[in-house]
A and B are shown apart, each in its own frame.
Chain A
Amino acid sequence: MGLKRDTDVHLALRIINENRIFLIIVLFGIIMRFITPTFTTKQNILYILQDIAVPGIIACGCLMLMIGGYFDLSVGANVALTGAIVAKMSIHGVSIPVVLLAVLLFGATVGVVNAIVVIYFKVNSIVATLSMMSILRGILLLYTKETIITGIPDSFLWFGLGSIGFLPVLDIFFILVACLCYAVLQRSVFGRHIYALGSNRKSAFLTGIKVDSTLAKVYIYEGLLTSFAGFLFVTKYSAALPTAAMGLEITIIAAIIVGGARLFGGKGTILNTVGGVVLMEMIFNAINLMNVNLNWRFIIQGLIIIFAVTYTVIFKESPAE
């Protein structure tokens, strides 16, 4: 009996520890309510809800990649360039379905190119996607001639600014994407193979998993999700900026890492990543409310990554293989 109770307590503690991000969110919310009561107003919570969708969708894709042991640092550039493409096409009167098709085609292309460079040219994924970031940023600046594109038709803005009941349309897409990615990662054979790849690539290969095609698929899905998020992003801000989404890749990595995922693969969940995104956006929102210079966000997210990675090392939560 006593033994049974021990294991129950142990299990409960483990579950709490694994999902500690939600504890941190609640604590942060309570503290912020004392510092600035505006933080917990209905209006402000709605702002946060609107802000989590775009990074949330990207984080879902990047989490799959990171569980597999790989990175994509080109997500911010991908979002910005997708935004510019959407802005230009929509201004020229192209219909929503055609624009969406172009967006997905673009995202898949970025995914395919990243996959080819990483898998066939065997370039380290950090280097490969950092280069892709530079390439996409360059294309964006040439394509937009360094100007802001405005005048996106109202029909497009429903995606970014509309709501169904109290829930922003953005979040409906976010919830759909998160559920889909949850099903893939936790319930599908493909998801199981992604975890195996990130836990031990060689073992995955030796046991007959097609590691290259698994990884290529993840890069393509992640590219699709990121470009789709880029579509939502530009319809939310109703303008495409040549400097849009700068540093977004760091926010995404920070969110995934504070969500408890292992930096080098094999471990991580969608639920905790969603928690990580919520916490990051709550922090940015708090900075804004407290009238702190917004550029602090870059410093804070850098510190968060260092702290979160150090924490997992100190508490030995990241055993090798």
Chain B
Amino acid sequence: MNDEQALLRLEGISKSFGKIQALKDVNLTIQKGEVVGLVGDNGAGKSTLMKIVAGAYIPDQGEIYISNELVRFTHPSQAREKGIGIIYQELALAGLLSVTANVYMGKELRRFKVFVDDTRMKKNTTEALKKLKTTVKTVDQPVSTLSGGQQHAVATARYLIGAPPIIIIMDEPTAGLGVVEAEKIINLILETKQRGITVIFISHNLDHVFQVADRIVVLMSGVNAGEIAKKDFNRSVVVKMMMGVE
């Protein structure tokens, strides 16, 4: 497959925060239906790169193409409209608000254009959580009362309601989770792939990445450090790339 047919193509992305250059001339190509593992040490720029794809940061330089169409995101809502979904490492929840309000945050179902349709939102939220095999006492309870795993399910449920995204980015979804809960996430990624949704999976846990990824892209100190195809997956090769050792 050549690059013009790629679902997502990033070209020469650079981003600085003050004097710190987080990303420098980074390229990334993602084909439809792939699960791509994005790895790198702390501060490699993985989350920054994904926040640029999701419209949360505006790059200083570089271009983003979705299905070969140039896009310029200045706000997360624009990326979402183009079918880019992201589950942030920090989950982007509002602790004081209900489970339902969190699942639908920023894309509330409406009645008469301006009013919220709480009945439908509650029903869909309950169904989405059921699909994720997560139980909460009630979808009216504040998210701050939930466990870590439940909170992760709430952030994930955002992409089970309404039209599915074309790409879903998961930033460290297994970090801080127990073995069973992490296994749930791994299965979720595989299921997502089966539904034909492209996945970008960021993780520090190489075992998790090896389990689900079709390809691994490595970043080091804000630059591309290399790519590895599934047949060549090897822990020491990846770690060397992450550390910049040839």
Which residues of A pack against B, CB within 8 Å? 187-193, 195-196, 198-200, 202-210, 262, 266-267, 319-321
Contact = CB atoms under 8 A, between A and B. Distances in A.
A208 B85 CA distance: 11
B97 A207 contact: no
Given A189-B108, A203-B92, A203-B93, A195 B101 contact: yes
Interface stretch (B18-26, B73-81, B207-215, B234-242): B73-81
A190 B94 contact: no
B115 interface: yes
B10 to A, nearest CB: 20
Contacts of A206: 54, 56, 76, 88, 92
Task: Label chain B's interface by main secondary structure.
Answer: loop
B76 A267 contact: no
A320 B106 CA distance: 21
Nearest to A319: B144
23 contacts: A187-B115, A187-B116, A188-B115, A191-B116, A192-B101, A195-B97, A196-B94, A196-B105, A198-B96, A200-B94, A200-B95, A202-B90, A203-B91, A203-B105, A204-B94, A206-B92, A208-B75, A208-B80, A266-B94, A266-B95, A266-B96, A321-B94, A321-B96
B74 to A, nearest CB: 11
10 closest A-B pairs by CB:
A199-B94, A208-B77, A208-B106, A207-B106, A266-B96, A206-B92, A199-B96, A203-B92, A200-B94, A207-B105
Interface of B: 54, 56, 75-77, 80, 88, 90-97, 101, 105-108, 110, 114-116, 144, 158
A195 to B, nearest CB: 6
Contacts of A190: 114
A164 B68 CA distance: 67
A188 to B, nearest CB: 5
Contacts of B105: 192, 196, 203-204, 207, 209
A238 to B, nearest CB: 38
Contacts of A196: 94, 97, 101, 105-106
Contacts of B77: 208-210
A20 B144 CA distance: 23
Contacts of B91: 203
A189 B144 contact: no
A168 to B, nearest CB: 31
Contacts of A188: 114-116
A266 B144 contact: no
A178 to B, nearest CB: 18
A192 B95 contact: no
B93 A200 contact: yes
A192 B108 contact: yes
A189 B116 contact: yes
Contacts of A203: 90-94, 105
Contacts of B54: 206
Nearest to A197: B94
Contacts of B97: 195-196, 199, 266
Given A187-B116, A200-B94, A266-B96, A208 B76 contact: yes
Nearest to B103: A207
A202 B92 CA distance: 7
Which of B88, B91, B94, B116 has its CB near the most chain A CB atoms (within 10 A)?
B94
A203 B91 CA distance: 8
Contacts of B116: 187-189, 191-192
Contact of B76 (A187, A195, A207): A207
Given A189-B114, A189-B115, A195-B101, A205 B93 contact: no
A183 to B, nearest CB: 8
A316 to B, nearest CB: 11
A145 to B, nearest CB: 46
Nearest to B107: A208
Given A199-B94, A200-B94, A319-B96, A189 B110 contact: yes
Contacts of A200: 92-96
Given A192-B116, A195-B101, A208-B75, A267 B92 contact: no
Contacts of A262: 96
B106 A321 contact: no
